[in-house]
Amino acid sequence: MTALLKLDNATIRFGGLVAVNGVNLDVEEGEIMALIGPNGAGKSTIFNLITGIYPPTEGGISFKGKSIAGLQPHVIAGGGIGRTFQNIRLFNELTVLENVLIGAHTRGSWNLTGALLKLLPPVRREEGRLLELAIHCLSQVDLAHKAYEQACNLPYGEQRRLEIARALAIEPALILLDEPAAGMNPQEKQTLLTMVRNIRASGVTVFLVEHDMKFVMGLSDRIAVLDYGVKIADGKPEEVRANPAVIEAYLGKGATN
């Protein structure tokens, strides 16, 4: 396997706080990789570094062999990294389909002027393609039958899945899922687990942050562990589970299950 994403000594400081401290980490093409660790360890900040919300203070980040450190978030998304957020960020007044189309438009080749000239055949063709793509992404999270419902009317677990559909609509090579199972009941988590496996089988590499250890251990090929911004372990689930430093920092305390 080859590294699709590479963090090389990635570091970010917020004033005196080193939120991410010299992290080296690879995500291989085709794997499901997880990032775990106590609250405040720096997991979401690593996702924010990868997606261009913050530039690293030091170190490099590369995707498909090219540096992406310091690029604008929309450029990184357009290059093939999709993400969801820890707190759901949907457009509540829009329909389920419209929420996904917003993601898909990152991939569209037409701009606002083109959109205003909707009657032009190439624009109409492009719109048709994006609509097809959006429906396909909804079906990947089993929400196609709810395409015309208002997003805020979906139950919580389905809203989280809608966020995944929107991230898939940019046709990413890599998707970052920030606590995808948070707030879900066991049945919803089981459904989600199968969906994430199917997303990987469709050719998308998955990198997730998650606190539910049963979910993480059952899903991931590899797990990296962060504590106070420092990577303290990286390996197969069974190796990480048995690692004394991980038990001391996390599994013995804050982790669920």
Exactly one of 45, 84, 99, 159 binds ligand ATP (CB under 6 A); that residue is 45
Its sign, for the CA torsion 91, 95, 96, 97, is: negative
Rounded CA-CA distance 231/18 in Å is: 13
Say whether residue 156 binds ligand ATP (CB under 6 A). no
Exactly one of 5, 23, 27, 41 binds ligand ATP (CB under 6 A); that residue is 41
Exactly one of 6, 23, 32, 37 binds ligand ATP (CB under 6 A); that residue is 37
Which value, in Å, is the radius of gyration of the alpha carbons in the chain? 19
Region binding ligand ATP by CB under 6 A among candidate stretches 12-20, 68-76, 152-160, 217-225: 12-20
Question: Based on CB atoms, which residue is closest to ligand ATP, 144 or 182?
Answer: 182
Say whether residue 52 binds ligand ATP (CB under 6 A). no
Say whether residue 40 binds ligand ATP (CB under 6 A). yes
Say whether residue 43 binds ligand ATP (CB under 6 A). yes
Rounded CA-CA distance 116/242 in Å is: 58
Amino acid at residue number 238: E
Site for ligand ATP in 66-85 (CB under 6 A): none
How crowded is the C-beta side of 136, counted as CA atoms within 13 Å?
A: 14
Region binding ligand ATP by CB under 6 A among candidate stretches 13-21, 63-71, 109-117, 197-205: 13-21
Question: In what helix (H) or strand (E) does residue 233 lie, and over which residues does it extend?
Answer: strand 230-235
Q: Which of 203, 207, 193, 208 is nearest to 141 (CA)?
A: 193
DSSP 161-206: HHHHHHHHTT--SEEEEESTTTT--HHHHHHHHHHHHHHHHTT-EE
Question: Based on CB atoms, which residue is closest to ligand ATP, 183 or 203?
Answer: 183
Q: How far is the CB of 127 from ligand ATP (least distance, A)?
A: 37
Residues that bind ligand ATP (CB under 6 A): 14, 17, 19, 37, 39-45, 86
